[in-house]
A and B are shown apart, each in its own frame.
Chain A
Amino acid sequence: MKVSQNWLKQYINFKFTPEQFTEKLSMLGLEVESSEDLSKKYDKFVVGEVLERAKHPNADRLSVCKVNIGGTVQEVVCGAPNVAAGQKVAVALVGAVIPHNQHGDEGKSFILEHAKIRGVESHGMMCSEQELGLGKDASGILVLDAAAKAGTPLAKYLGQTDTIYEIGITPNRSDCLSHIGVAREIGVLVNKKMKHPKVILKESRTPASKFAKIEILDKEKCPRYSARVLRNIKIGPSPKWLQDILSSVGVRPINNVVDVTNYVLMETGHPLHAFDYDKLAEHKIVIKAARDGEKFVTLDGKERTLTSETLMICDAERPIAVAGVMGGANTEISDTTTNILIESAYFHPQNIRRTSKYLGLSTEASYRFERGADMNITVTAANRAAQLIQELAGGDLLKGVLDAYPKKRKPIVVKARVSRINSIIGTSLSKMQIISLLKKIDLVVKSSSRDELLVTVPSFRNDILEEIDVIEEVARVYGYNNIETKTHAAIDFSSNVRTDALQDEVREFLIGSGFNEILAIGLQDEATMSLAGKPLVKALNPVSAEMAALRTSLVTSALGIVKHNRNHGTKDLRLFELGNIHLRIDGKASNSLEAYQEEERLLLVISGNHAPVSYGNASRVVDVLDMKGEVSALLSKFCLDNYRFIYYDTHEALSEPCIGIEINGTYAGFFGKIRKQIADKLDIDEAVFVCEMNIRALRDGWVRDRKFSPLPKFPGVTRDLAFTVDATLPQNKVEDVIRQVGRPLCTNVVLFDTYSGQQTGKDKKSVAYALEFQSPDHTLAEEEIDHALAKIIEAVQRQCNGVLRS
C-alpha cells in the first residue's frame, strides 16, 4: 500500500527522514518496502527570471536570453514565441531529466546536456508545461507566478515536496490499510495520539429517512449498512490537490464524488460506494443474496454470473452492486447525476473473500472487507465523505444518517496474564509497564486480579481475539530488539538417530568417485515421464505442461539434464542425484494420503568418455562395465558382499540391457543402458548408462558395524588358470565353480582376460583367472595347491565343459 508523508502529517506530527521512517515502521511490523522522494523529479530545475531577450544571431525563430537563476546569470537559448523579459520561468539546468520530449522520440524523458544551438552556447532550457510533465500545453514556455523567487527549487515552487512510501501490510493488520491506520502506528513511535479530521456537516432540514429506505435481508453477511443522501450536487473534476494526492498513492482521479469516496477509503480504510440516487427503483436499498445464475454488469462493463452465495445490494427491483466488491453499471455516477446515496457498510469478511475469489475480481474495497473492516466507523466515514462532497460538489445534505444496524457489536474483551506474557516473551515486565505499552495502541486495560488483565480491544483491531494476540502486541510495542537475546539456551541433546547419515556418506563417496551432484525439480512433463511406464501422480492445476506431474523415476528428469549438457558442449558426464519420486498406489482413493508413496532414490548417470581427455589417458567411451564397476564399488563399500546382480530377468521400461540389484535378497534397483528408442525420442545420440537404487534398501543393507578380521600370518600364492569354454557361456558360471570348489584354500578369484579368435574357434572363448591361495594356519605346500587346482580343473571341465589351456 502506498502512503503519502504529507497526508500522514494531517493526523500526526512527526519528523523522520525517509531512512528513519523505513527503519522505525519496519521495526513495528509495518514493512516499508520502498520510498520515493517526489521532489527528486525536479532535481536541477529552478525558478529563473528572464532579464533580457535578444534575437539569436543565426536563427530567426530563436532568442538568446539572460536568465537569473538565483545568484548567477546564464545565457539560455529559447525557441518559445512567448518568452519575454521580466518573466518568471522554469529553467532546467544541465543534467536535469526533462520528463517529456515535445520535439520527438515519442515524448520520452531525456537528460539535458550542454548544447551549442546554432553557434550559441545554452546553459539550460526554459520548459513548457508539457516538457515538465505538468500538462498538455506545448505552445510556449510555462510562465510562473510573478512573485516566485529566482533560484527557488522548482519542486518547492510546485509544492512537490512529498515522499511516498510503499508499505507491505501483513494480512492480520487490516487496520493499517489507511493513512489514519498508519498514523496511529506512528503515534506509538512518537508517543502521541493521532488526531482525527474534524467533520462539520451542514445538513438541510429535510430528513434523509423520507427519501430512502434500507432493508437488510441477510444480517449474517451484512451486519450494518449506513448511508447518506445528498441532493442537487454538481458532478465535475476534482480540484488539483485532490487529484494530485490520489495520483500520488496510485488512485486514478475520476470525478469529484468518486474521488471523495476513494479519498475517504485511503484516509480511513473504510470502503464507500456512491449510487446515482435517481436510478434506484423506489429509492430503496435491499441487501440480499443473488439468485443462482443471475447475470449482473459491474462498473467495469463486464457481465458476471452470480451464485446464491453472492451478497448483492439491490433496489426495489434489481441488483445494483456486488456487496463489498464492485458497484453496478446501472446506478453508476455520471456527469448528469445530481442526487446521490453514499453507502458505508460492513460486510462479513469470509463472504467477500469467497465472492472476490469466485468472480476473480479483487478491488480496493474487497481487499479491505475480506481482511476485516471496522464496523464502528461506517457513520464516521459516510459523514466524512458527505462533508467533502458538499465542499467540492455543493448540494444539500439530507438530515440524518440512514443506519441499519440490527445487532450492535459488543466490544471484545480479552483476558491476559502478566506471568504468561513474560513467560512467552522472556521478559520480566511489571503489570504497570504492560498496561502502559498497551495503552499506546488504544488497548484499554482493567486489572481484575494480581496477575490477570482485562483488555478491551478497539473495534479497528479485529486481529486481537485471545491472550496470545495481546502477548504479541506487548512484544511488538515493547520492541523486538529490546527483548534480551538469551545466549544460554537450555540445550537438551538430541538422542534421535541420524536419518540422513547414509545420504551424506553416499554423497561423499560419489564425489570421491568423480560424480557431479545434480538436483532436479520433482515435477515434469507427462510425455517424458510416461517413458518410465509407471502410473503418474498428476497436478490438478499444473503450473505448466512441463511441470504437470511428479517424477516416478529420477531417470526421466536426468535425461533432460544429459540433453541440456550435451547441447552445451559437455558430453562426458558423471552425474548423481539423491531425490524423491512419487508413486500412485492402486486401489486407494485419490483424496487419501495412502494413495501416494514417496520413495527416496539414488541415481547414477555416466555417458561419453570415461575420463577427461588428458595426457597419458587414452580416450575411451564408457560402456555398461564402467557403470557396473561404479555400482559394485558403491555396494561393496556400504553393503560388503550382501548384494548380487540379476543379469537376464530384470525388466525396466527405460533400460536395455537391464541388470537388477538385490541387497540381502530384496530388489533394490537396476542399472543398464537407456533404450535406443527413448534416447532417440529425446535426441540423445550417445549411449547413456544409468543406475537407479532405492535408498531405503541401501540403508537396510548398510553394514555400519565393522568387525576386524586378523591379517593372514602366512604368505599367499597366486596361480593363473585359463579355460576354453562355449562362447555363449557367461563367465560367472566358471567363476562361481572355481569359488565353490576352491574353498577354503582359494581365497580370491579375478578374471583378467577373455579371448575369442583363431586359437579358440568362433564358437569358443578363453577365460583366464588369477587365483589366490592362502591358509590361516600354515604356509601352503606345493602339493596342497596342486591338489586344489586339480579339483578346480576337473570341476570346470565337468560343470562348464571347460578345457584347460596350457
Chain B
Amino acid sequence: MLEKVVHTKQAFTEELQKAATLQDLEQTRIKYLARSGEIAALFEGMKSAAPAEKPALGKTLNELRQYAQAQFDEKKLLLEQSAKPKEVPFDLTLPGRSKPIGTKHPVTQVMEEIKRIFRSMGFSVENGPEIESDYYNFEALNFAPDHPARDMQDTIFIADKILLRTHTSPVQIRVMEKQKPPVRAIMPGWAYRNEAVSARSLVAFHQIEGLYVDEGVTFSELKGTLVAFAKQFYGSSIKYRFRPSFFPFTEPSAEMDITCYLCNGKGCRICKHSGWLEVLGSGMVHPHVFQAVGYDAEKYTGYAFGMGIERTALLRYGIDDIRILYENDVRFLKQF
C-alpha cells in the first residue's frame, strides 16, 4: 500500500510538471484529485488495510492529498498568469505630482533655534519698539552725553531725541521698568545703524539681547549660561574664550569667542586667521543701569548679552555676502 502511495505521488508530480496549458492541468486534476481520481481510490483501498496500520496510512494519505492540492493550486496560478494578454505596465518613474514648497527665511531659522535654546533655560521672550527715545537707547544704558562710545554707533534719527534703536538693549530697560526681579528674558528684534551697505554690513539687522537679574547672579554664572548656549548651538566640541571688552551698560564686559568651526581654529579667511570667531558681547549689568530702572544695585546683580543674527546665519550657511539675505530671491530662499 505504501509503495502505491509513493508511486502515485511521483507520477502526479511528473505529470504536473509536464502540464503546459490549463487544459493539461485540468486533465491531471481529474486523474488524481477528482472524486473518482487516484488519490480517492487510495483512500478507498485503505478500508481493506489491517486495523493496526490504518492510522499511519490515513496520515500519509492526507499528506499526499494536501501536497497534491497545493502543488495544483500553485501551478494553476502560474498558468493563469501566463495565459493573460500582456498589459503595458504603469510607468512608475513618472514624477510625483508636485505642490508648492514653503520655506522659512534662514534668519528666522537661526533666530528660532536661539530662542528655543534660551527658552529651555527658563528665559521668556520680550519685545520693544524699533522707534526709540534717546533715553532708552543711550541714556538709561549709561551712555554719557558726548561719550566716545557713541562713536561706535552712528544713529538714524527720526526727530529730536527720537531714533531707530541701534541695538536691542533698550528693551532691557523696558523689561526692567515693567517687572521686578527676578528677570530672565531674551529680546529679539531689528536694530538700525547709519552705515554704508556692504558685503559685511547692512543698515538694518537682527539682534538677540539677553538679561538675567536676581540676587546672587555672578560673572561665573554668565559664563556658564553662555557656554551652555554655545555648546548647544555651535556643537559640544567647540572651544571658547571670554575676552575683556567694553560696553557702557555692562561692567565687567566680555566678548565671547569660539574656535572658528570652518578651520577648527587653524586660521582662515573667515576668522581673519585668528582661529577665533567673535560670537557675542556680554557683561554684568552696570549699577548705573539698575539705578535708572529703580532696582537696588546692592541687592540685585545681573548679566546681559547680545548677539547679531545675520552674521551667525552667514557663518552657519556659508554665505559670503550679507546683502543676499534681504534680496529675498526665491532661488535663495528655497535652499533653506
Which of chain A's residues have a CB closer than 8 A to the CB of B253? 472
Query: Contact: B146 with A350, CB < 8 Å?
Result: yes
Measured between alpha carbons, how far is A614 from B99 in the docked complex, in Å? 9
B327 — which chain A residues lie within 8 A by C-beta?
Answer: 561, 564
Query: Quick check: is B105 within 8 A (CB to CB) of the other chain?
Result: yes
Indicate with 1 or 0, residue by residue over B114-152, a CB within 8 angstroms of chain A CB atoms. Answer: 010001011111110111110000000000001111011
Question: Which residues from 294 to 336 on chain B have a C-beta closer than 8 Å to any C-beta of chain A?
Answer: 301, 325-331, 333-334
Contact A568 B331 (CB under 8 A): yes
- Interface residues as binary, A481-516 with B (CB distance below 8 Å gives 1, 0 otherwise): 101111111111110101110001001001111111
Query: In the bound complex, how far is the Cα of B108 from the Cα of A354, in angstroms?
Result: 41
* Cross-chain contact A611 with B98 (CB below 8 angstroms): yes
Q: Does B12 contact A (CB under 8 A)?
A: no
- Asked if residues B98 and A539 are in contact (CB atoms below 8 Å), the reply is no
Give chain B residues whose Cβ lies under 8 Å from the Cβ of A353.
146, 148
- Residue contact B131 to A537, C-beta cutoff 8 Å: yes
Separation in Å of the A805 CB from the closest CB of chain B? 35
A148 CB to closest chain B CB (Å) equals 34
**B228: A residues at CB distance < 8 A:** 487, 489
A570 touches B102 (CB 8 A): no
Q: Is the CB of B158 within 8 A of A540?
A: yes
User: In the docked arrangement, what's the CA distance between A130 and B158, Å?
Assistant: 56
CB distance from B82 to the nearest CB of A (A): 33
Partner of A543, one of B195, B246, B284, B333: B195
Question: Nearest CB to that of B105 among chain A residues?
Answer: A517
On whether A521 and B202 interact (CB within 8 A), knowing A498-B125, A516-B330, A543-B194, the answer reads yes
Chain A contacts for B104, CB-based, 8 A? 507, 511, 517
> A590 near B: Cβ within 8 Å?
yes
In the complex, chain B residues whose CB is within 8 Å of the CB of A496: 124-126, 185
Residues in chain B near residue A512, CB distance under 8 A? 102
Instruction: Count residues on chain A whose CB falls below 8 Å from chain B CBs.
Output: 99
Binds A, one of B26-34, B39-47, B56-64, B216-224: B216-224
Contacts of B103 in A (CB 8 A): 511, 516-517
- Knowing A490-B221, A591-B159, say if A370 contacts B148 (CB, 8 Å): yes
B157/A424 in contact, CB under 8 A = no
User: In the complex, are the beta carbons of B102 and A510 less than 8 A apart?
Assistant: yes
A residues less than 8 Å from B194 (CB atoms):
541, 543
Cβ contact within 8 Å between B246 and A483: no
Would you call A475 an interface residue if the criterion is a C-beta within 8 Å of the partner chain's C-beta atoms?
yes
Q: Using a CB-CB cutoff of 8 Å, which residues 202-249 of chain B contact chain A?
A: 202-204, 214, 216-221, 223-225, 227-228, 241-246
Tell me which residues across on chain B come within 8 A of A490, comparing CB atoms: 214, 216-217, 221
- Is A425 in the interface zone, CB < 8 Å from B? yes
Question: How far in angstroms is the closest Cβ of chain A from B285?
Answer: 10
Instruction: With both chains docked as a complex, state the minimum distance between the C-beta of A538 and any C-beta of chain B, in angstroms.
Output: 7
Stretch of B13-21, B70-78, B160-168 contacting A (4+ beta carbons < 8 Å): B160-168
Query: Please, which residues of chain B bring their CB within 8 A of the CB of A427?
Result: 220
Residue A519 at the chain B interface, CB threshold 8 Å: yes
Interface assignment of A423: CB less than 8 Å from any CB of chain B: yes
- CB within 8 A of B244: which of A29, A467, A500, A564? A29
A493 to B115, CA, bound (A): 15
A173 to B149: give the CA distance in the assembly, Å. Answer: 11
Contacting pair A570 B329 (CB below 8 A):
yes
Residue of A nearest to B228 (CB): A487
In the bound complex, how far is the Cα of B121 from the Cα of A481, in angstroms? 23
A615 in contact with B156 given A485-B223, A507-B108, A575-B328 (CB within 8 Å): no
Contact A469 B185 (CB under 8 A): no
Q: Is the CB of B156 within 8 A of A28?
A: no
Contact of A519 with B220 in the complex, beta carbons under 8 Å: no
* Residue pair B251, A468 in contact (C-beta under 8 Å): yes
Inter-subunit contact B227/A485 (CB<8 Å):
yes
A417-456 interface (Cβ within 8 A of B): 423-427
Q: Does B11 contact A (CB under 8 A)?
A: no
Given known contacts A172-B246, A423-B301, A521-B202, A516 and B98 CB-to-CB distance under 8 angstroms:
no
Collect the chain B residues with CB atoms within 8 Å of residue A516's CB: 102-103, 330, 333-334
Q: Are the CB atoms of A475 and B148 closer together than 8 Å?
A: no
For residue A320, CB closer than 8 A to chain B, the reply is no
**Is B199 on the interface with A (CB-CB < 8 A)?**
no
Take A173-B246, A489-B121, A543-B195 as given contacts and tell me if A520 and B326 are in contact as well, using a CB distance cutoff of 8 Å: yes
With a CB–CB cut-off of 8 A, which chain B residues contact A595? 159, 162
What is the size category of the interface that chain B forms with chain A?
A: 35 or more
A425 contacts B164, C-beta separation under 8 Å = no
Q: What separation, in Å, do the CA atoms of A467 and B329 have in the docked complex?
A: 52
B260 within 8 A of A: no
Closest to A488 in B: B224
Q: Which of A426, A488, A540, A598 meets B159, CB within 8 Å?
A: A540
* Complex contacts, B325 vs chain A, CB 8 Å: 519
Chain A residues, CB < 8 A from B286: 468
Does the CB pair B245–A489 fall under 8 Å?
A: no
In the assembled complex, the Cα of A539 lies from the Cα of B193 at a distance in Å of 12
* Contact of B272 with A34 in the complex, beta carbons under 8 Å: yes
Query: What chain A residues lie within 8 Å of B151 (beta carbons)?
Result: 171
Partner of B221 from the list A370, A486, A540 (CB cut-off 8 Å) is: A486
Q: Which residue of B107, B146, B157, B252 is within 8 Å of A472 (Cβ)?
A: B252
Residues of chain A contacted by B85 (CB below 8 angstroms): none
The smallest beta-carbon distance between B270 and chain A, in angstroms, is 15
Say yes or no: A494 contacts B243, CB within 8 Å: no
Q: How far is the CB of A730 from chain B (nearest CB, A)?
A: 30
Interface digits, A614-625 against B, CB 8 Å rule (1 contact, 0 not)? 111100000000
Q: Please name the residue on chain A nearest to B212 by beta carbon.
A: A489
Instruction: Name B241's contact: one of A350, A371, A481 (CB within 8 Å).
Output: A481
**B195 (CB) vs chain A CBs: closest residue:** A543
How close is A20's CB to chain B, nearest CB, in angstroms?
13
Contact B218 A426 (CB under 8 A): yes
Q: Closest CB-CB distance, B214 to chain A, in whole Å?
A: 7
Whether a CB of chain B sits under 8 angstroms from the CB of A722 is no
A359 sits at the interface (CB 8 A):
no
CA distance A508 to B274 in the complex (A): 39
From the candidates B101, B146, B156, B241, name the one contacting A542 in the complex (CB within 8 A). B156
Q: Is there a chain B Cβ closer than 8 Å to A547's Cβ? A: yes
Q: Which residues of B contact A570 (CB under 8 A)?
A: 329-331
In the complex, A212 has a CB within 8 A of chain B: no
Chain A CB within 8 A of B254 CB: yes
Query: A611 contacts which chain B residues (CB < 8 A)?
Result: 98-100
Query: Chain A: which residue is nearest B157 at the CB level?
Result: A540
Q: Is B89 in contact with chain A by the CB < 8 A criterion?
A: no
A206, CB-defined interface residue at 8 Å: no
B261 within 8 Å of A (CB atoms): no
Among A27, A28, A499, A515, the residue within 8 A (CB) of B126 is A499
A480 at the interface (CB under 8 A from B): yes
- A29 and B243 within 8 A (CB): yes
B196 sits at the interface (CB 8 A): yes
Minimum C-beta distance from B105 to chain A (A): 4
Q: How far is the CB of B176 from chain A (nearest CB, A)?
A: 14
| B residues with CB within 8 A of A | 94-95, 97-105, 107-108, 112, 115, 119, 121-127, 129-133, 146-149, 151-152, 156-162, 164, 182, 184-185, 190, 192, 194-197, 202-204, 214, 216-221, 223-225, 227-228, 241-246, 251-255, 272, 274, 284, 286-287, 301, 325-331, 333-334
A: which residues have CB within 8 A of B? 22, 26-29, 31, 33-34, 170-173, 349-350, 353-354, 370-371, 423-427, 466-469, 471-472, 475-476, 480-481, 483-494, 496, 498-500, 504, 507, 510-523, 537-544, 547, 550, 561, 564-565, 568, 570, 572-575, 580, 582, 590-593, 595-596, 598, 611-612, 614-617
5 A-B pairs closest in CB distance: A426-B220, A426-B218, A514-B100, A29-B244, A511-B102
Pick 16 A–B contacts, CB within 8 A, sort by A: A468-B284, A480-B244, A500-B127, A504-B112, A519-B326, A521-B326, A538-B158, A561-B328, A565-B328, A565-B329, A582-B131, A593-B131, A595-B162, A598-B129, A612-B100, A615-B94
Apart from A541-B156, A570-B331, what are 11 other A-B pairs with CB-CB below 8 Å? Answer: A29-B246, A426-B219, A489-B121, A489-B225, A493-B122, A519-B105, A580-B190, A582-B130, A593-B162, A614-B95, A617-B98
